[in-house]
């Protein structure tokens, strides 16, 4: 029996298998509102047979967008657009839906990747960014505004209000974005957090905001629905955030009832040196999994079915997440199930596509 295709429970949410579709920014929203692109993009992924689909990083306030085209959930208009999207997805798929809530902090106000990805100046329609400290991401970036304690409280309220909207929309899960150099990660790392108050300095102080936001969001999201956290386990820069600190954060989140830890890395510093290769981030997930009892998701150049099966089968992680790989092959879970002798869900309209060599591949619901 395939371990990758065994079910798993996050809180009270049971997933059909261990394959997660990771949040992937599409830079295709209009003033924060989901568009027809999101219907088409997420619609096809909802037919893939994965256990869970998590929507892209969704900004909790307008200044928290990475780009002007980022998805958002901060007012009635953005909520209504997402409501239409969720309805469309639910009409055609029973795949559980999660949403990743985040804020770009000093990495906000940038062009989309295919437009260069650099920061947009105020003259060209950019906006003032915020951060734990007035330390920019790139040398060419305008300095972010260091957040006052009052501004931090506003930020926490923005997360709570977005979580309330996500709950109303019927999302099955919330993931808090504490990775990839965005605002919560900026508070975690000593490279970007130079504060001298209760949110800076010691590890206890630097993790404080993320833990506070988790607790506040937990109060407003249905008790029977899981909340997880995505982290960058390392800045890949000496003196930065690292795996030892990540383990301590994971332990603290576990004590608060966090449903899972989604383990990525990097994104905070232009000085990062990442040895990219197959499974390059999996050892981080494995280290965290050894330290906590909640499920851990591994990511990072996981492209082959046998590779994913080995990660789960050897206990390096509890789930694997796919991003670029499932964009390249939107039926990756079907093909993995066929290779591993497992079953996978597919829309009944597609059952006739089942190859003769793998008859019985699809679950008939």
Residue given tokens 């000496």 in the structure block: 238
Q: How far is CA 175 from CA 113, 128, 266, 315, 362, in A?
A: 23, 26, 18, 23, 29
Contact 215, 256 (CB under 8 A): yes
Distance CA 300, CA 264 (A): 7
Q: DSSP code of 121? A: P
Distance CA 86, CA 33 (A): 13
Catalytic residue selected from 111, 182, 214, 260: 182
**Distance in angstroms between the alpha carbons of the first and the last residue of the chain:** 20
Q: Is 214 a catalytic residue?
A: no
Dihedral sign for Cα atoms in the order 71, 73, 74, 78: positive
- What is the H or E stretch that residue 209 is in? helix 208-220
Query: 3-state DSSP helix/strand/coil percent for the chain, to nearest 5?
Result: 40, 15, 45
Q: How many other C-beta atoms can be found within 10 angstroms of the C-beta atom of residue 365?
A: 8
- What is the H or E stretch that residue 324 is in? helix 324-328
Which sequence positions are flagged as catalytic?
182
């Amino acid at each position: 029996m395939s371990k990758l295709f065994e079910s798993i429970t996050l809180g009270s949410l049971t997933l059909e298998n261990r394959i997660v579709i990771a949040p992937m920014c599409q830079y295709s929203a209009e003033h924060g509102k989901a568009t027809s692109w999101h219907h088409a993009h997420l619609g096809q992924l909802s037919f893939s047979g994965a256990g869970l689909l998590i929507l892209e990083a969704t900004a909790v306030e307008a200044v928290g967008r990475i780009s002007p085209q980022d998805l958002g959930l901060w007012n009635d208009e953005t909520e209504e657009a997402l409501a239409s999207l969720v309805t469309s997805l639910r009409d055609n798929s029973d795949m559980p839906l999660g949403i990743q809530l985040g804020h770009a902090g000093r990495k906000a106000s940038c062009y989309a990747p295919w437009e260069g990805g650099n920061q947009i100046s105020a003259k060209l329609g950019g906006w003032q960014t915020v951060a734990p400290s007035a330390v920019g991401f790139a040398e060419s970036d305008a300095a972010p505004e260091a957040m006052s304690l009052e501004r931090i409280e506003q930020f926490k309220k923005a997360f709570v209000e977005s979580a309330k909207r996500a709950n109303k929309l019927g999302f099955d899960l919330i993931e808090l974005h504490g990775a990839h150099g965005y605002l919560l990660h900026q508070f975690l790392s000593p490279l970007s957090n130079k504060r001298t108050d209760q949110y800076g300095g010691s590890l206890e102080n630097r993790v404080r905001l993320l833990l506070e936001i988790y607790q506040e969001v937990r109060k407003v999201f249905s008790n029977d629905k899981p909340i997880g956290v995505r982290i960058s386990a390392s800045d890949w820069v000496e003196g930065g955030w690292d795996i030892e600190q990540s383990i301590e954060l994971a332990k603290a989140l576990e004590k608060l009832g966090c449903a899972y830890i989604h383990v990525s890395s990097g994104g905070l510093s232009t000085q990062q040196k990442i040895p990219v290769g197959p499974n390059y981030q999996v050892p981080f997930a494995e280290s965290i999994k050894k330290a906590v009892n909640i499920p851990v998701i591994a990511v990072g150049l996981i492209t082959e079915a046998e590779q994913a099966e080995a990660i789960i089968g050897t206990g390096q992680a509890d789930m694997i997440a796919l991003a670029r790989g499932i964009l390249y092959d939107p039926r990756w879970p079907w093909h993995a199930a066929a290779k591993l002798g497992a079953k996978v869900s597919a829309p009944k309209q597609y059952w006739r596509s089942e190859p003769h060599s793998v008859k019985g591949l699809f679950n008939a619901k």
